[in-house]
Chains A and B, each alone.
Chain A
């Protein structure tokens, strides 16, 4: 079957205007995917790929299906139609544990059991690398300590997670998925409910991770931060991908109007040249 071939496949056309179609390698690809809950289809025939060693950000209004798409890529939801390919293999045909060695997921608003220390939480990331007969190894310790250094949480190691602030806690969760040491990491709204400074801290951690060669797919709400860190920005609306490309290509005034119904000006960041969206307030009150 073609899907099992190891030869790189040609990139597929997108629903919207396409840029860098063949410029990037990918390890995670979605083809004609429809997925949802019960009988309701939320993501409708989507084609998508994540850039290898880069940050792909999914944005869109509430209920547009971005989290649902992420869950299908994390193998939590089973496709109604279409497929998810990881390294050109069918994701939903792989055993759960095999998937967990290639792809890590930070779900939205994760919950920690009471009494769990930061170190213990991060150590959970080693789960797929262990088994009943292969318990904790020096390799596990190395991965955990590297993940904690990368997220700057070494000082909290022995504190209970519950005693930390929201931003610190989120860094601990990110450390957990880093410790999993997978080439692909999916994050569902890692910055929601954090204040701006902390959002930026979290994003800096993610940039560092991407720079180390891992593939990141991030669902988020904050458009300006998305534009600032994305290598590949994908906009969704009503279960379909409306636009995808570099932030420059996707974040335009017309598109914001079309996707979010938002009246906004888009200006370039004076330092980086990345687009910034400045919403216009209604003049008639």
Chain B
């Protein structure tokens, strides 16, 4: 356990470096030294410092918060469902959150962004309940297969409604289309402020549940025998997952694959203990999204690719590997 935290400083150092590199990269690249200076000794008369503070730094923070939230949500879901394919994207939570946001803020033009993380979390919760309900009603119950299938069904259905809304309402389409690909470009600082307390709460909850999630990974009966209140644990984990997913979606839109990929990568290094998987997933997820966003901005520079498209392009092949190796 304490041995397991040995590589944490390394991961955090990489995260700090990735954070600065992310800030340095852009339409005008800034030397890393200037980034350090701006972060440690801000001087508003220097143009680069102003760019860093007003444009680059917020974007790096979006990446860190969203990356950490989504991978922790994925890790918890994989733990409590004992399903290697569990992820806020695959099990429909993300499209549920997006759907709720598109309807509330796009179609009905509600404008209080303070409620956006809550609306998104509510959408994620409803979608999760639907997906679980459908899977439970299937013969054989909520197996990895039925969960993934009902997740796909709900995603397709809600996706179709979003498309329909957009066909009927061009304004909302124009407003939402970038956000819906999962992008750090249009992310807004005010939404981050509203989402941040939820993220902190969701993370804290995830960390306190981690020990019990490890026990639950050995099956419900075993966990029960060890003294885990399984129903309570699952409910609390569900709250953490929808809050984290909702917050991330409200900041950067639906970003797939992070919640799926990162916990698996983390497990390769730290094993099966969720007291390690949760914090490492947060750090590695943040780092991963920073790197992805760097790629999104430099491969076709000066054109910027949507971050969500890059995560999907890199996540797709990994998904194939996962299916071949684990199922």
Q: Is B158 close to A, CB under 8 A?
A: no
B273 touches A128 (CB 8 A): no
Q: Which residues of B contact A177 (CB under 8 A)?
A: 225
A18-26, A104-112, A142-150 - interface stretch: A104-112
Interface size class of B (residues with CB under 8 A): 20 to 34
A113 touches B221 (CB 8 A): no
Q: Is B214 close to A, CB under 8 A?
A: yes
**Which of B214, B227, B271 lies at the interface centre, i.e. has the most chain A CB atoms within 10 A of its CB?**
B227
A71 touches B221 (CB 8 A): yes
Q: Among the listed A71, A112, A132, which residue makes an inter-chain contact with B218, where contact means beta carbons less than 8 Å apart?
A: A112
In the bound assembly, the distance between CA atoms of A107 and B221 in angstroms comes to 6
Can you name the residue of chain A whose Cβ is closest to the Cβ of B232?
A96
Q: Among the listed B82, B215, B267, B268, which residue makes an inter-chain contact with A124, where contact means beta carbons less than 8 Å apart?
A: B215
A115-B267, A132-B208 known; A124-B227 Cβ under 8 A: no
B221 touches A124 (CB 8 A): no
A115-B271, A124-B215 known; A100-B222 Cβ under 8 A: no
B224 touches A75 (CB 8 A): yes
Q: Which residues of B contact A99 (CB under 8 A)?
A: 227
Q: Which residues of B contact A180 (CB under 8 A)?
A: 225-226
A113-B272, A115-B267, A120-B271 known; A100-B218 Cβ under 8 A: no
Interface residue total, chain A, C-beta cutoff 8 A = 36
B224 touches A115 (CB 8 A): no
Q: Which residues of B contact A76 (CB under 8 A)?
A: 220-221, 224-225
Q: Which residues of B contact A112 (CB under 8 A)?
A: 218, 272
Can you name the residue of chain A whose Cβ is closest to the Cβ of B230?
A96
Q: Which residues of A contact B175 (CB under 8 A)?
A: none
Q: Is A60 close to B, CB under 8 A?
A: no
B224 touches A96 (CB 8 A): yes
In the bound assembly, the distance between CA atoms of A74 and B212 in angstroms comes to 18
Can you name the residue of chain B whose Cβ is closest to the Cβ of A109?
B219
In the bound assembly, the distance between CA atoms of A123 and B215 in angstroms comes to 10
Q: Which residues of B contact A101 (CB under 8 A)?
A: 227
A104 touches B272 (CB 8 A): no
A71-B221, A107-B221, A127-B215 known; A116-B227 Cβ under 8 A: no
B215 touches A74 (CB 8 A): no
In the bound assembly, the distance between CA atoms of A125 and B228 in angstroms comes to 12
Contact with A along B192-215 (1 / 0, CB 8 A): 000000000000000010011011
Contact with A along B225-237 (1 / 0, CB 8 A): 1111100000000
Contact with B along A85-109 (1 / 0, CB 8 A): 0000000000111111101111100
**Which of A110, A113, A186 lies at the interface centre, i.e. has the most chain B CB atoms within 10 A of its CB?**
A113
Q: Is A130 close to B, CB under 8 A?
A: yes
In the bound assembly, the distance between CA atoms of A200 and B22 in angstroms comes to 61
Q: Is A224 close to B, CB under 8 A?
A: no
In the bound assembly, the distance between CA atoms of A159 and B273 in angstroms comes to 15
Q: Is A136 close to B, CB under 8 A?
A: yes
Q: Among the listed B1, B219, B326, which residue makes an inter-chain contact with A110, where contact means beta carbons less than 8 Å apart?
A: B219
Q: Is B217 close to A, CB under 8 A?
A: yes
B225 touches A104 (CB 8 A): yes
Q: Is A31 close to B, CB under 8 A?
A: no
Q: Is A114 close to B, CB under 8 A?
A: yes
A116 touches B272 (CB 8 A): yes
B271 touches A127 (CB 8 A): no
Q: Is A117 close to B, CB under 8 A?
A: yes
Interface residues of B in 53-100 (CB under 8 A from A): 82
Q: Which residues of B contact A186 (CB under 8 A)?
A: 225
A127 touches B227 (CB 8 A): yes
Can you name the residue of chain A whose Cβ is closest to the Cβ of B212?
A127
Contact with A along B127-146 (1 / 0, CB 8 A): 00000000000000000000
A114 touches B267 (CB 8 A): yes
**Which of B214, B215, B225 lies at the interface centre, i.e. has the most chain A CB atoms within 10 A of its CB?**
B225
A124 touches B271 (CB 8 A): no
In the bound assembly, the distance between CA atoms of A98 and B229 in angstroms comes to 11
Q: How far is the CB of A172 from chain B (nearest CB, A)?
A: 12
B218 touches A114 (CB 8 A): no
Q: How far is the CB of B214 from chain A (nearest CB, A)?
A: 7
In the bound assembly, the distance between CA atoms of A246 and B229 in angstroms comes to 37
Q: Which residues of B contact A115 (CB under 8 A)?
A: 267-268, 271-272
A111-B219, A124-B218 known; A74-B272 Cβ under 8 A: no
In the bound assembly, the distance between CA atoms of A96 and B82 in angstroms comes to 21
B228 touches A96 (CB 8 A): yes
Can you name the residue of chain A whose Cβ is closest to the Cβ of B270?
A115
In the bound assembly, the distance between CA atoms of A13 and B227 in angstroms comes to 32
Can you name the residue of chain A whose Cβ is closest to the Cβ of B214?
A124
Q: Which residues of A contact B273 (CB under 8 A)?
A: 116, 120
The contact sample of 9 A-B pairs, CB cut-off 8 A, is A98-B227, A99-B227, A104-B225, A104-B226, A107-B219, A117-B271, A120-B272, A120-B273, A136-B1
Query: Which residues of B are at the interface with A, using a C-beta cutoff of 8 A?
Result: 1, 82, 208, 211-212, 214-215, 217-222, 224-229, 267-268, 271-273, 326
Query: Which residues of A are at the interface with B, using a C-beta cutoff of 8 A?
Result: 71, 74-76, 95-101, 103-107, 110-117, 120-121, 124-125, 127-128, 130, 132, 136, 177, 180, 186
Q: A100-B226, A116-B273 are in contact. List 13 more A-B contacts (CB 8 A).
A: A76-B221, A96-B224, A96-B227, A105-B222, A107-B225, A110-B218, A112-B218, A113-B218, A113-B272, A115-B271, A121-B218, A127-B228, A186-B225
